[in-house]
Amino acid sequence: MSLLIPVVAAAMAIVSPTGGTAAQALVVDGQFRAADGGTYRAVTFDGTAIPAGSRVTVTERTSPDGTRVELRVGGVQANRTFGAHVHTQACGSTPAASGPHYQNVKDPKQPSTDPQYANAQNEVWLDFTTDGNGDGGAASTVQWRFRAGEARSVVVHDHGTATASGQAGTAGARLACVNVPFE
């Protein structure tokens, strides 16, 4: 297994003024590469929407009160809205490899399209719209923490996330994926 791009994935403790640990931060930084069977930090399945060489950063900050995830992209298709969510599996050479959305309370019926489970409080939704340069980003804060080993990637989807019953949580084709070892 070779990693062909530079990656920064560092956990840092942020110390509160009283001396205790207030939060943990994890940063994953990389460039999208074509999903050609290699092992990469970030892969693209659609070179028009998410060109090889475009940039991505995912930051996770945890505290006793919950989790904040931030997504930043650069050099992707300009003036476009994308959906993005945390998924349960690592990226692979096919879009489906990343598995379903991570859910704090798991929907017993998969794929999940029930708004009771597929919603921005039970999942991490990071929909964003790019500017004229193809730069964009989003942040999501939830009142829970990921279960160990059950959240492994962020997937960028074709369009913004639907919320209607029977479609909740759907955002079209999986265009790109970035591996993130969420804590």
Contact 152, 181 (CB under 8 A): yes
Between strands 128-129 and 81-87, the pairing is antiparallel
Q: Could you tell me which of 75, 56, 76, 16 has the C-alpha nearest to residue 154?
A: 56
pLDDT value, residue 111: 92
Place of tokens 């409080």: 121
pTM above 0.85, yes or no: yes
- The better pLDDT of the pair 137, 1 is held by 137
Contact 5, 31 (CB under 8 A): yes
Contact 102, 86 (CB under 8 A): yes
Distance from C-alpha of 30 to C-alpha of 180, rounded to nearest angstrom:
11
Contact residues for 69 (Cβ-Cβ < 8 A; gap 6+): 58, 59, 60, 61, 86, 124, 126, 139, 140, 154, 182
Local confidence band at 24 (pLDDT 50, 70, 90 cut-offs): confident
Local confidence band at 39 (pLDDT 50, 70, 90 cut-offs): confident
Q: Could you tell me which of 121, 119, 127, 135 has the C-alpha nearest to residue 168?
A: 119
Secondary structure letter of residue 161 according to DSSP: P
Task: Out of 20-24, 105-109, 140-144, 150-154, pick the least confident.
Answer: 20-24
Other residues' Cβ atoms within 10 Å of the Cβ of residue 175 = 25
Tokens matching residue 93:
């050479």
